[in-house]
């Protein structure tokens, strides 16, 4: 005869749990009120941050991608025509600009003003002197400032690639507040700005957008601008040579107006031919200069701002009500578990 072991299945009795909680309602009220008060005090000590975003659609160059490959990519939501580019720096690399100290340091001198007007300074000075820290960490900051040696400023212009510890910390702070990303599906550049002041948040959104546009424009037109400057130099030199040759021809012609010598006629003819060659050279180079100038305009990309930076109305973080609600709920759950475990002991 086989042995059978009876297994006891414990079923959670919600009514029993409710009765236990009700019996300990005084304890629950005290604990929850304490948790509510403590979470409110803790979350108030954290500075509030505002957030705004910018969406930019840059003009992309390059031949069209057609055929099976283009159709296959489009079926997965990727537009290869938008991503195809002859440039060495593709839009996929634009977010990496924030890794470059030169690009970040260029934001130091942006003039910012707080919404209440109490702050009107550069972005560097704002991050260095006007940032609100967590209240609970302020005593540690005061002690740190007392014992830390004053920063020694380097003479001359700031070298983005040779920063002091203080400047490097500010650069790191900017990288944490400003994010650039590229949406491969829609070929749209997203710029997200976070700051403690809503107006400064909007100002920095516009500034990053402007600097990103300038960077893209300078890169896309770099070779065309170099060619234009080169042809400008050639045109200027050709014009000077033509003017000198014309002056020599005019001087010789004026000096020998009434002299009918064959040697003078031959010399004037030679100088006239030289003058014509100089003029043809100047005309050719000037035409090339104008074509190079048009090439600069042709290579200058157009930008479509899908979403501009706006002054945020409500702070994005921290979520104070959500934090307090979660802390209160967790306290209730932990207390309920504790009461039920203690009952079973």
- b/e 84-114 (16+ beta carbons within 10 angstroms → b): eeeeeeebeebeebbeebebbbbbbebebeb
In whole angstroms, how far apart are CA 200 and each of 53, 105, 175, 191, 239?
Answer: 13, 17, 16, 15, 51
Predicted local confidence at residue 67, as pLDDT: 44
Residue 39 lies in a domain: no
pLDDT tens, 8-61?
444 556 777 777 777 788 888 889 899 899 988 888 888 899 999 999 988 765
- Specify whether the CB–CB gap between 317 and 281 falls below 8 A: no
Q: What is the pLDDT of residues 60-112, one digit of tens each?
A: 654 444 444 454 444 444 444 444 445 556 777 888 888 999 999 999 999 99
Low-confidence winner among 52-66, 173-187, 191-205, 209-223 (lowest mean pLDDT): 52-66
Give the per-residue pLDDT at 211: 92
96 lies in a domain?
Answer: yes
Query: Residue 9 class from Cβ within 10 Å (0-12 exposed, 13-18 middle, 19+ buried)?
Result: exposed
Q: How far apart are CA 218 and CA 213, in angstroms?
A: 8
Does residue 335 register a pLDDT over 60?
Answer: yes
Q: Is residue 338 part of a domain?
A: no
Q: Tokens at residue 313, please?
A: 């109305």
Count up the domains in the chain and report the number: 2
Q: What is the pLDDT of residue 219?
A: 85
The predicted structure's pLDDT at residue 141: 65
In a domain, 4, yes or no: no
Task: Report the pLDDT averaged over residues 128-150.
Answer: 72
Residues 116 and 211 both lie in one domain: yes
Angle value at C-alpha 49, between 48 and 50, nearest 5 degrees: 130
| Domain span holding position 124 | 50-149+159-221+302-321
Residues 139 and 273 in one domain: no
Q: What percent of the chain has pLDDT over 90?
A: 30
> 34-38, 102-106, 154-158, 257-261: which range is least confident on average?
257-261
| Residue 113 reports pLDDT greater than 90 | yes
Q: Do 78 and 169 reside in the same domain of the chain?
A: yes
Q: 17 lies in a domain? A: no
Lowest mean pLDDT among 131-145, 201-215, 222-236, 252-266: 252-266
Residue-wise pLDDT for 298-324, tens only, equals 888 888 889 989 999 988 888 889 989
Helices (H) and strands (E) in the chain, counts: 12, 6
DSSP state string for 116-144: TSS-EEEHHHHHHHSPPPPGGGHHHHHHH
Residue at 85 is within a domain: yes
- Smallest Cα–Cα separation from 167: which of 148, 149, 153, 180? 153
Residue with more model confidence, 5 or 57: 57
User: 85 and 72: one domain?
Assistant: yes
The whole-angstrom separation of Cα 221 and Cα 59 is 13
Rg (CA), the chain: 37
pLDDT: is 339 or 50 the higher one?
50
Is 3's pLDDT higher than 90? no
Please give the backbone phi and psi of residue 90, each rounded to the nearest 5 degrees, phi first.
-90, 165
Query: Are 247 and 216 part of one and the same domain?
Result: no
85 and 211 belong to one structural domain: yes
Give the C-alpha separation, 197 to 50, whole Å: 7
CA–CA separation, 334 and 35 (whole Å): 12
Using alpha carbons, select from 184, 204, 186 the residue that is nearest to residue 108. Answer: 204
Q: What is the pLDDT of residue 6?
A: 45
pLDDT reported for residue 69: 46
Reading the block at residue 277, the tokens are: 């060659």
Q: Would 28 be classed as within a structural domain?
A: no
CA gap 99, 101 in Å, rounded: 6
Query: HSE (CB half, 13 Å, CA atoms) of 328?
Result: 15
Per-residue model confidence as pLDDT tens digits over 272-302: 888 888 889 999 999 999 999 899 888 888 8
pLDDT higher than threshold 60 for residue 134: yes
pLDDT of residue 20: 75
* CA 325 to mean position of chain CA atoms: 35
| 211 and 261 together in one domain | no
Quote the mean pLDDT of the chain.
Answer: 80
* Residues 193, 178 contacting (CB under 8 angstroms): yes
């Amino acid at each position: 005869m086989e042995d059978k072991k009876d297994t006891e299945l414990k079923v959670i009795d919600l009514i029993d749990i409710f009765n236990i909680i009700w019996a300990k309602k005084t304890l629950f009220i005290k604990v929850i009120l304490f948790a509510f008060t403590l979470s409110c005090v803790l979350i108030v000590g954290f500075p509030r941050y505002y957030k705004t975003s910018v969406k930019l659609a840059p003009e992309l160059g390059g031949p069209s991608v057609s055929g099976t490959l283009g159709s296959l990519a489009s079926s997965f939501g990727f537009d290869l025509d938008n991503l195809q580019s002859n440039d060495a720096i593709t839009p996929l690399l634009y977010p990496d600009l924030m890794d470059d100290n030169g690009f970040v340091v260029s934001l130091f001198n942006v003039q910012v003003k707080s919404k209440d007007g109490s702050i009107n300074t550069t972005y560097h000075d704002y991050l260095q002197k006007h940032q609100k820290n967590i209240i609970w960490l302020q005593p540690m900051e005061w002690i740190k400032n007392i014992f830390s040696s004053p920063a020694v400023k380097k003479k001359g212009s700031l070298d983005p690639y040779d920063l002091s510890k203080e400047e490097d910390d500010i650069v790191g702070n900017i990288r944490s507040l400003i994010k650039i990303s590229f949406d491969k599906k829609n070929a749209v550049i997203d710029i997200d700005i976070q700051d403690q002041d809503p107006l400064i948040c909007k100002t920095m959104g516009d500034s990053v957008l402007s600097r990103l546009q300038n960077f893209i424009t300078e890169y896309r037109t770099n070779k065309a601008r170099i060619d234009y400057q080169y042809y400008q130099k050639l045109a200027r030199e050709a014009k000077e040579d033509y003017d000198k040759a014309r002056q020599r021809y005019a001087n010789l012609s004026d000096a020998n107006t009434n002299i009918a010598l064959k040697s003078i006629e031959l010399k004037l003819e030679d100088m006239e031919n030289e003058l014509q060659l100089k003029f043809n050279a100047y005309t050719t180079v000037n035409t090339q200069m104008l074509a190079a100038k048009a090439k600069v305009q042709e290579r200058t990309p157009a930008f479509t701002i899908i979403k501009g930076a706006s002054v945020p109305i409500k702070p994005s973080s921290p979520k104070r009500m959500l934090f307090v609600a979660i802390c209160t709920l967790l306290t209730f759950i932990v207390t309920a578990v504790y009461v039920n475990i203690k009952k079973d002991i």
